[in-house]
Amino acid sequence: MPTIYEVSELAGVSLATVSRVMNGSAKVSEKSKKKVRDAMEELGYRPNSVAISLASKRSNCIGILVAELDGAFFGSMMTGIEKTLRQYQKHVVITAGHSNDADEREGVEFLKSRNCDALVIHAEQLSDEYLIELSKGDTPIVVMNRQIDAIAEKCVSLDNVKGGYIATRHVLEKGHRQLVNIAGPKFKNDAMERIVGFQQAVNEAGIDFDENRVFEGDYLQESGAAAIDHFVMSGIEFTGVVCGNDQMAIGAMARLREYKRLPSKDVAVIGFDDVSFAACTYPTLTTINYPIKLMGQQAAKLVLKDVYKIGVKDIRQIYEPTLMERNSVKRLRSK
Amino acid sequence: MPTIYEVSELAGVSLATVSRVMNGSAKVSEKSKKKVRDAMEELGYRPNSVAISLASKRSNCIGILVAELDGAFFGSMMTGIEKTLRQYQKHVVITAGHSNDADEREGVEFLKSRNCDALVIHAEQLSDEYLIELSKGDTPIVVMNRQIDAIAEKCVSLDNVKGGYIATRHVLEKGHRQLVNIAGPKFKNDAMERIVGFQQAVNEAGIDFDENRVFEGDYLQESGAAAIDHFVMSGIEFTGVVCGNDQMAIGAMARLREYKRLPSKDVAVIGFDDVSFAACTYPTLTTINYPIKLMGQQAAKLVLKDVYKIGVKDIRQIYEPTLMERNSVKRLRSK
DNA sequence: TTGTAAGCGTTATCAT
DNA sequence: ATGATAACGCTTACAA
């Protein structure tokens, strides 16, 4: 790998001049410019971004922390961020927090130590205090899916309580009174908030909230199926299933069929997130839209503006969950 | 951010000693060790990995190039790689190639310029020659999903032709003779290979391969639906749909239902990849298993062994596609 | 065991 | 407009 030194030598100019043509920082005569460019070309020179980063304290990289690298939700989020950043030659460095405090902290430290210019964080375990403290450091951050008042201007979030409420109310409005809730892991904020929304809607309908009607899943398909097993085995009757996310919803629908209880026809199922496959299930999944890709784009715009002073507009930070009515929730047929 | 210099000062030892305790490279007296550790603790010192990387030429980072950050397939691959690497304190840096030559090249350059210790590449546009050339450079690489003889020891792949063949033959064996193929983008190697497999099986069954029965999709749900529209509009008759991947398969199943042609009952549909939701569709999706997560783990093991000299075993590089028989392909009912 | 000092490949501040 | 030269934060011979 040739270095800037070799380029300067071949071009017959100083290091400084080469550096100047690289980042157009100051006036350089056309003549030197050409000599430098030719030399670079000839040597197949590639600037070493680690050295640039060390010297300039900037990396043109934005760090992203997500719980996992797979999953439709995180995929959309990462894509939303990456694609908008890429338009401005910014790169992303992604790391997984695996939903545990140690990995999340380590991930943040890693990203900071790599000189990321900013961090976009979707943390499940990091406390609000930690995040607030972090925001005071020298690496700007954007927090996804969490509303922290002290750093509201750095949050891009959606009202999960409201989402859970809307979902539940929709099922109730269709005449279902015997509901169960397949929730996400309770240690996750959004999972808990969605449960709260469920509870609100249920109470509002004059139904007693019953802990036993909430199953704690893990946001993966299999746990949606396990939840159905659980409810059936426990003899808990239900005609409506409110799910913490779409993945568990499809797992639940698949298992319901095995019990000969047809989704939509015999039991209403509603998801959350509106991931891409939700429109392709059978029955198509009624769910709550979570515009995570768009929100990722917004997060990116936020750093573009704050960190790189790039003028971008239409930055919105608080989003509303909306009902996506499809076919998995039908009116309860009177017996 | 405190630096190593401040630590050495506070601890009353030299820079070198601090460095030594950080990476246990040489003998350091217990006494100095403690002084250094205390100083680090007190200052909240975090080593700057950019500086480490520049000085040592190692980064403990492995670069990953994938087409997109979303999608079940890539998600599994990234997770497979990341989780096994993480066990050894190695981090991943991920970048998207967006299936075009420019972005893929830029992605590779970016990763190399970030001093990645190795690269795991899933490229769609980079030529074999480019990859072979790249492999001669000073950054070791692992190539996913492509078998390049010249660098076979760096490839982790699966026989896509065979996969396409197995899928097609399975549908044929169930009595279907009128087949259509919803393929991936033809510029992608795997998509083409799967088409070849389709062709082989069809020919073997004594059926003429008809170009018009192949629709070029883009591996996304929507194009599976579009393919069905296309075939129906064109008046092409079929009872079996062989898909290039699972996503298009579910898109196709959803659209078929709209035409009142029930998947499984009226028309057989087979997917490819066996992503996680394939078992939860209705009907459950018969497909070809592509153990991409496992293969990601293997790629990681390869770099662990080659780059870090970490003894890992059970490294296999060539995988076989296998039939996952579920419910979307049923025997053709005689009229 | 510990310290000194020369890199690593850039950027950036001064001069000129 | 261009060139020295000192950072940037750490590793690593080489000495002591």
User: What was the pLDDT predicted at A334?
Assistant: 65
In 10 A of CB A311, how many CB atoms?
8
| Residue nearest the C1' of D1 (CA based) | A28
Residue B17: CB less than 7 A from any atom in strand D: no
Interchain proximity B75–A75, CB inside 8 Å: yes
Residue B36: CB less than 7 A from any atom in strand D: no
Shortest Cα distance, chain B CAs vs residue A86, angstroms: 9
- Mean pLDDT of all residues belonging to chain A: 95
pLDDT confidence of B105, banded at 50, 70, 90?
very high
Contacts of A128 (CB under 8 A, 6+ apart): A146, A148, A150
B contact residues 175-214, partner A, Cβ 8 Å cutoff: none
pLDDT of A312 > 90? The answer is no
pLDDT of B94 > 70? The answer is yes
Q: What is the chain B residue with the closest CA to A83?
A: B96
pLDDT of A311 > 60? The answer is yes
Nearest CB to A221; choose among B53, B247, B277: B277
Residue B167: CB less than 7 A from any atom in strand C: no
Residue B25: CB less than 7 A from any atom in strand D: yes
CA distance A46 to A227: 54
What's the helix, strand, coil split of chain B in %, to 5?
50, 15, 35
CA distance A212 to A333: 25
Report the nucleotide nearest the CA of residue B17, measured to C1': C2
CA distance A298 to A314: 8
pLDDT of B332 > 70? The answer is yes
User: What was the pLDDT predicted at B335?
Assistant: 53
Distance B90 CA to D13 C1' (A): 27
Q: What is the chain B residue with the closest CA to A277?
A: B221
CATH of domain B160-290: 3.40.50.2300
Distance B14 CA to C2 C1' (A): 8
Superfamily of domain A59-158+291-319 in the CATH hierarchy: Response regulator (3.40.50.2300)
pLDDT confidence of B314, banded at 50, 70, 90?
confident
In 10 A of CB A16, how many CB atoms?
12
Helices (runs of H) and strands (runs of E) counted in chain B = 12, 12
- Omega before A263 within 30 of 0, i.e. cis: no
Q: Is B254 exposed, middle or buried (0-12, 13-18, 19+ CB in 10 A)?
A: buried
Residue range B276-286, pLDDT digits in tens: 999 999 999 99
pLDDT of B333 > 90? The answer is no
CA distance A152 to B95: 29
Place of tokens 């075009």: B100
- Give me the percent of chain B exceeding a pLDDT of 90: 94
The domain A4-47 having CATH identifier 3.40.640.10: the answer here is no
In 10 A of CB B18, how many CB atoms?
27
Shortest Cα distance, chain A CAs vs residue B246, angstroms: 11
pLDDT confidence of B217, banded at 50, 70, 90?
very high
Distance B81 CA to D14 C1' (A): 40
Domain boundaries, chain B: 4-47, 59-158+291-319, 160-290
Distance A335 CA to C3 C1' (A): 88
pLDDT of B334 > 80? The answer is no
Bases along strand C below 7 A from a protein CB? 1-13
- Mean pLDDT of all residues belonging to chain B: 95
Residue range B53-84, pLDDT digits in tens: 999 999 999 999 999 999 999 999 999 999 99
Distance B47 CA to D1 C1' (A): 39
* Cα dist from A26 to A7, A34, A49, A202, B207, whole Å: 18, 15, 20, 66, 69
Residue range B24-58, pLDDT digits in tens: 888 889 999 999 999 999 999 999 999 999 999 99
Helix (H, G, I), strand (E, B) or coil at B190: helix
Residue B259: CB less than 7 A from any atom in strand D: no
Place of tokens 């790391």: A95
Residue range A262-306, pLDDT digits in tens: 999 999 999 999 999 999 999 999 999 999 999 999 999 999 999
User: What was the pLDDT predicted at B315?
Assistant: 87
What are the contacts of A170-174 at 24+ separation with CB within 8 A?
A170/A270, A170/A286, A170/A323, A170/A325, A170/A329, A171/A240, A171/A242, A171/A268, A171/A270, A171/A329, A172/A201, A172/A202, A172/A205, A172/A240, A174/A240, A174/A268, A174/A329, A174/A330, A174/A331, A174/A332
Interchain proximity B92–A95, CB inside 8 Å: yes
Interchain proximity B50–A251, CB inside 8 Å: no
Report the nucleotide nearest the CA of residue A2, measured to C1': C9
Q: Which residues of B touch A48 (CB under 8 A)?
A: 54, 113, 115
* Cα dist from B186 to A209, B182, B193, whole Å: 54, 11, 9
Q: Do domains A4-47 and A160-290 have the same CATH topology?
A: no
